[in-house]
Amino acid sequence: MVNYWLGKQEPSSYNFDSLEKEKKTSWDDVHNNLALKHMREMKKGDLAFFYHTGDERQIVGIMEVTSEPYPNPKEKNPRFITIDVKFKKRLARPVTLDEIKKNAKFASWDLLRISRLSVMPVPPKIWNEIIKISQK
């Protein structure tokens, strides 16, 4: 069974265009305990939305998890982990945070409840709704 996730990134430090060009990257530099807990639950083959934070605040594309979580080689502390991801596809159009906030279906989602969280699960109903909105 595929699980769905969302990973946030400041586009000035790394953006979806870079992932599309490079085809794959490591998703690292996560230090929040809850975000790390979510990353530990990721499995090879899971899908994740790529969310641009900062001034953009929008979901722009989909990436696929290509590894199980492993210790981040850039960190001395083994509790900090990373996963590998690859470019999957660009959304037909970005879905903005404002659109998400206006939709009652998203009211209980962590993106709105815990706004600073950088990695979070996406329930299948929410995943499907975001895909649907992106195609309008």
Domain boundaries, given as residue ranges, for the chain: 4-134
Q: What is the pLDDT of residue 123?
A: 97
For 63-112, how does the pLDDT look when each residue is reduced to its tens digit (9 = 90+)? 999 999 999 999 999 899 999 999 999 999 999 999 999 999 999 999 99
Looking at 13-122, list the stretches that DSSP marks H as alpha helix, in order from N- to C-terminal side.
Answer: 16-22, 33-40, 97-102, 110-113
Q: What is the pLDDT of residue 36?
A: 96
Task: Render the burial of 33-44: b for 16+ CB within 10 Å, e for the rest.
Answer: eebbebbeebee
Instruction: Supply angle C-alpha 75, 114, 107, rounded to 5.
Output: 145
- Spatial distance between the Cα atoms of 52 and 76, rounded to a whole number of angstroms: 28
Q: What is the pLDDT of residue 88?
A: 98
Report pTM.
0.95
For 38-59, how does the pLDDT look when each residue is reduced to its tens digit (9 = 90+)? 999 999 999 999 999 999 999 9
What's the mean pLDDT in 102-126?
95
Name the pLDDT band for 115 (thresholds 50, 70, 90): confident
* Residues 4-134, CATH architecture: Roll (3.10)
Average pLDDT for the chain: 96
The residue type found at 3 is N
Q: What is the pLDDT of residue 50?
A: 98
